[in-house]
Amino acid sequence: MWLARPALGRPEGVGVRWGTVLACLLPLATHGQGTVPSAASVAPAARVAPVEAASPEKTVNPNAPTPASGTWALVKNLTLPTPGAASLDRRGTLYLADRDNNLRQLGRDGQPLNTYSPAQPGHMAVVEAWNQNSLLVFYDDRQQVLLLDRFLAPLSEIRLADYIDGTVRTATLAPDGLLWVLDESNLTLREFDPQALRVVQSTPLDLIIGRSRPDFRFLRQYQNNLYLVDHTSGIFVFDNLGNYRKKLPFLSLDFITFRGDELVYLSEGQLHFFHLYNLTERTQALPPGLDATTVRQVLLGDQYAYFVTTKGVVIYQL
């Protein structure tokens, strides 16, 4: 019986009643018919998302002001044909895949620092540098994860197909060194231990997704929550154990980024700043002359903003 299956995100030890089950599943079953949960909705749907204290981990200053409209100061415009995935570490160092799938390491102001050239070709679908100890590169065509140190020296290489029975769409690196991967074939979010080379836990997504046809694009862990971007229906939010918490109704997104206590995304030619705990949102115009249709990814550091476009990287001082 499917009701014997634990409800995703339900606190351990809490009993399940028919009313609670129906309250949890009804919004999911009707989502494909146009029902969009509010930014504060959680599972069970009757509860309001609790305000959590920010993680004590060292991050960008949560109180750091973002630039007011019209105050963007251009620092550098780097020409780089067809750049790929990019990521920013806690020191403000930028990591960027180029057209030839080399990984470039750039200083805060765009100064070249180092380059990693892989021994065999492959498409760098994800670059994740937020972990303080290692850097993750995910090759979607090879279904392989590469871990590098801060000098871009290889630490380990893992062929996910040897341990996961399915196709991984996207992946990210958690602060504890474990990997989160989205198994698209089985619609399952999995946590993988790269040291023990085994799946630690799995979260099925079928009941959460409901009747919708997802198009997963991006995965990122930040301040003890895991954010899974579905281009079709919004952002699914899980805790650091993989339990489903809520859904943010931000549609048609390919990427998100974070700065302090805000989730940042680009939509309709503007930057949107969504506060993770107050659940408030504000917008800000892009720098003058920057074509939003060319922007592939936005990264915000403590002092600089990086806009990865189809022609390269444009850097502004905040």
- pLDDT digit string, tens, across residues 234-276: 999 999 999 999 999 999 999 999 999 999 999 999 999 999 9
Number of domains comprising the chain: 1
Residue 176: inside a domain, yes or no?
Answer: yes
User: What pLDDT, in 10s, does the model give residues 189-200?
Assistant: 999 999 999 999
**Domain contains 186:** yes
* DSSP letters for 240-254: TTS-EEEEE---S-S
In a domain, 55, yes or no: no
- For 95, the token pair is 């990591």
Residue 127 counted as domain residue: yes
Range of the domain at 197: 15-49+66-317
User: Which helix (H) or strand (E) is 26 found in, with range?
Assistant: helix 18-29
pLDDT digits 0-9 by tens, 13-24: 434 343 443 343
What would the DSSP string read from start to end of 128-169? E--SSS-EEEEETTTTEEEEE-TTS-EEEEEEGGGT-SS-EE
The CATH number given to whatever domain includes residue 269 is 2.120.10.30
Domain for residue 262, yes or no? yes
Residue 30 maps to a domain: yes
Asked if residue 172 is part of any domain, the answer here is yes
pLDDT band per the 50, 70, 90 thresholds, residue 65: low
Is there a domain that residue 42 lies in? Answer: yes
Report if pTM > 0.85.
Answer: no
CA distances from 237 to 134, 151, 166, 189 (A): 24, 32, 22, 12
